[in-house]
Amino acid sequence: MSRPRIVIATTNRGKIREIRELCAGIPVAWVAMTEVGTPPVVVEDGPTFRENARLKAETIARWSGLPALAEDSGLEVDALGGAPGVCSARFAGPNASDAANVALLLARLEGVPPEKRTARFWAAAVVWWPDGQVDEAEGVCEGRIARAPAGTSGFGYDPVFIPRTENATFAELGTEVKNRLSHRAQALRRLQLLLLKRIGAGHP
């Protein structure tokens, strides 16, 4: 019996790699959008991570005819009133690089003492099925923002985010630790339980 196929609704290579690693225990075939064709552009204008993840998952599921998994995540910094939030990927501009986003974040936090640099990563993961059914889960990782980037692992804000239980950034801690602690790992672990139930029930 062939495994059900689920499209990963992102072009971010770091996210694709993490999703495949974190969901390796689910008996499905994970498909990149480029294996299906040229995906439509999804305007992520929702006010929450969950709404943006739902928007991406539904759009790609309807386009591909396959169930689609979308994940939306970002960083909330207390000293910045919750920014960059849902604008995390485009904090420094529509096509900003990770380095540019990190540089702007650190510039905005210039002079802010360590005890006021509290922050958290949020993640919402959604699978939208072609028949309109939806599975979704969220995860959060509390921490603080470092004064300068450190480490070479990961992507995005990983070089400046220090999880609350650690004394090093995600980029220093490496993949194994990040995949245990991260917001995305938490959301996908919860989503896995829902997917296993659905697949066990014969869906799709």
Instruction: Give the CB-side neighbour count of residue 98, counting CA atoms within 13 A.
Output: 15
What is d(CA 7, CA 105) in angstroms, rounded to the nearest whole number? Answer: 32
Question: Structure tokens of 46?
Answer: 């929702």
- 131 assigned to active site: no
Sheet holding 118-128: strands in order across? Answer: 29-32, 5-8, 68-77, 118-128, 134-145, 161-163
Residue 31's Cβ-side half-sphere holds a number of Cα atoms within 13 Å equal to: 20
Residue 102: burial class (beta carbons within 10 Å; 0-12, 13-18, 19+): buried
Catalytic residue among 72, 98, 131, 135: 72
Q: Give CA–CA dist 56/61, Å, rounded.
A: 8
Residue in 193, 183, 204, 60 with CA at minimum distance from that of residue 122? 183
Place of tokens 């994970």: 30
Identity at 38, one-letter amino acid code: T
Report, as residue numbers or ranges, the catalytic residues.
72
